[in-house]
Amino acid sequence: MSVGGMTCAACVRRVENALNSVPGVVEASVNLATGRATIVHEPQWGGLAQLEKVITSQGYEFLGEIRDNGTDPIEASRRAEFKDLKIKVACGAVLSLIIFLGSMQRELGFLSAVPRPVMLRVLFVLTAPAVFWVGGRFFVGAHKAAMQRTSDMNTLVAVGAFSAYAYSAAASFFPDFFTGAGVMPHVYYDAAAMIVTLILLGRLLEAAAKGKTSSAIKNLMHLKPKKAHLIRDRQEMDIAVEEVQIGDVLLVKPGEQIPVDGIVLSGASTVDEAMLTGESLPVNKESGQKVFAATINKTGSFTFRATGVGAQTVLAQIIRMVEEAQGSKAPVQRLADRVASVFVPAVFAVGLVTFLVWYFIPAESSFSRALINFVSVLVIACPCALGLATPTAIMVGTGLGAQSGILIKGGETLEKVGKLSVVIFDKTGTLTKGEHAVTDIVAADGRDPGNVLASAAALEKVSEHPLAQAVLQKAAAEGIPVASVDQFTAFSGMGIRAVLHGKICRAGNRHFMEKEEIVMGNLLEAAETFAQEGKTLIYVAEEKKAIGFIALADEPKESAETVVELLKREGLKVAMITGDNMGTAKAIARKLGIEHVLADVLPGGKADEVKKMRQAGEVVAMVGDGINDAPALAAADVGMAIGAGTDIAIETSDITLIRQDLMGVTDAIALSRATMRIIKQNLFWAFFYNVMGIPIAAGALYPFFKILLNPGYAAAAMALSSVSVVGNSLRLRRVWSKRVKMTS
């Protein structure tokens, strides 16, 4: 759900405490940058009405629940607020300029003709709308906080601006009271007006910047198609995407968006899936292959059957995951939250001490100076930057990830990635292509390897075994015609016997050849080298003599070796875990430069191996396909599901990599670490700003350098702190863009 009216970390703390007090609420998390509250509750609870009651009781707006259709009620509120801010800032700037010129009357000759008392009354009138209309939101917020016997950023600004204005008014209308006490009255109308205007300007810039941080999720929302071509009774009709049901047959024409997820029935085309995977090259699609909502059909027309609609589409799952991630908090933010809970009262205490010290210093005793330093402390100490430090960076980082096909679950995952010590890869389908291909053909007695392949293809023609398909694909690639056989007999787990060109021919493993009493000659010696490389061998025989063999292997993916090397450079250990035998596993590991190999591990045992590593003190990332490896993904500190867009992948993994390219693993780690660096920089700046700013505002530099901080400068510094934090978060976009260009 969405909450309006929050301005700083203290506001977040108040709303979270209020929501957590509702019976049945297990946990409430509030994000300042998005304005969203995430609620985990028991089956029996008070419902939204109770949440609305406690939110409004704290002086904030309940903007409603975020719907599955992607509508977010806070967006309309943000647009209205942005428009109001622009108007108020413009008016405040004009009034502040006029008030400043009036305050400089003695220095400006053209105003010297106006009597000073008259000028002071003019300034009093002009400053009133600048403070109370332009800055009205601060006073309203302060009043609401006071009614709840608490305080926040609005309280600091309202008290600071009002103190400067009230003192100036008293000095304007009752100067004798001050001069009679031996005090020269000064007015600070310009300071009061500038405080409000500059803080609102910071709020305006902050709102604009925060809009950019959420651009990724907005772009994903805009990807949703509106129409679909439904085929029913051989007739084509246009319907709204919302009306499509699972099982419907749909037509997609060139240049159109695919409306929902589905399976291609007829036709073929290329599809641009960049918006989901980040992959720039179009993907070929033909009968039996999956297509996804919002991707763009490029060349041909095809029909497909709908398998996922509405919230079931991969795009909807991605949007939901990104929204959840952007609403999350990193554990490192907890320190900021604890500080925020006591920050405002502490600032008031510091401000009061500042006033008393300056008022009673014998050599510098001055009510005016004491007041101005008091106001400067209140204004400069706003905790906005603390509240924005983490959520803005998470919004940018997770948004960039979604655009690159990297789905990161949230702040906790980002922080864990920074602590990784080991990355474990599943072998089949993760490090390797997941399908066997012919790598070598060896012929005996000077025979043509093409004849060996032709015989093997003819025998394997009627088989549906994956190895048979690999042999047939190789034959097709070489342009070798495939003959027909007679008297075909299959021996499960061993091989095939059939009559080819009048001869009894066989194809199968070594055990089958021995059983059939085939003379192997010197082939066994030659085959030993390939077997040591972890390759699977299909021997081919005519009558009782072997004529050669075909070596097949599940080859590593093109980027696998590079990824392993990059991870090692980052100081990470790389391991491989597989159910294959140790020989095959080590052969693949040698090619990729992986020293740590776990072989002969059953699917259920992968999770146990991950747990053992964690118990040994390692921080473990598990990379798998997201389905078979689900238990291991869940057992790891960070689970990465690669090449998966399924529900189980998204639910089980901490990071889901939509595209098959293994470079996504290094990209995910790099993005996570870059985001955490930005978060730490933001928090450092937020704390550093307050640690340095408050003492300066209190006058700590005056004894040494005769420097005091004008409230106007304090307001500018406060606004700059918030904008700088958001701007630093946005810097992540430039950093990531450079990386993408370098690796593309």
What DSSP string describes 59-119? T-EEEEPPPTT---HHHHHHHHHHHHHHHHHHHHHHHHHHHHHHHTTTT-GGGTTS-HHHH
pLDDT at site 261: 93
pLDDT (tens digit per residue) in 455-500: 999 998 887 777 888 899 999 999 999 999 999 888 877 888 999 9
Q: Which two tokens stand for residue 553?
A: 């292997």
pLDDT (tens digit per residue) in 542-597: 999 999 999 988 888 888 999 999 999 999 999 999 877 787 788 889 889 999 99
pLDDT at site 367: 77
pLDDT at site 645: 44
Query: Would you call 343 exposed, middle or buried from its count of C-beta atoms within 10 A (0-12, 13-18, 19+)?
Result: buried
Q: Which two tokens stand for residue 559?
A: 């980027």
- CA 257, CA 284: separation in Å to the nearest integer? 15
Mean pLDDT on 676-697 = 87
Q: Does the pLDDT of residue 249 top 90, yes or no?
A: yes
pLDDT at site 128: 94
pLDDT (tens digit per residue) in 188-232: 788 888 888 887 887 787 677 666 655 555 666 666 788 999 998
Which pLDDT band holds residue 307 (cuts at 50, 70, 90)?
very high
Answer whether 317's CB lies under 8 Å from 260's CB: no
Q: Does the pLDDT of residue 255 top 60, yes or no?
A: yes
Classify 509 as helix, strand or coil. coil
- What pTM does this model have? 0.69
For the annotated catalytic residues, the residue numbers are 426
Of 144, 171, 165, 166, nearest to 155 (Cα)? 144
444-447, Cβ contacts within 8 angstroms, sequence gap of 24 or more? 444/521, 444/522, 444/523, 444/545, 444/546, 444/547, 444/548, 445/521, 445/547, 447/547, 447/548
pLDDT (tens digit per residue) in 370-392: 888 888 888 787 666 777 778 78
Tell me the Cα Rg of the chain.
Answer: 35
Q: Of residues 661 and 501, which shows the higher confidence score?
A: 501
Q: Of residues 97 and 466, which shows the higher confidence score?
A: 97
The whole-chain average pLDDT of the chain stands at 82
pLDDT (tens digit per residue) in 607-660: 889 999 999 999 999 998 755 677 888 889 998 988 754 455 556 678 888 777
Q: Does the pLDDT of residue 330 top 70, yes or no?
A: no
pLDDT at site 304: 95
Q: 423 has which bridge partners?
A: 574, 621
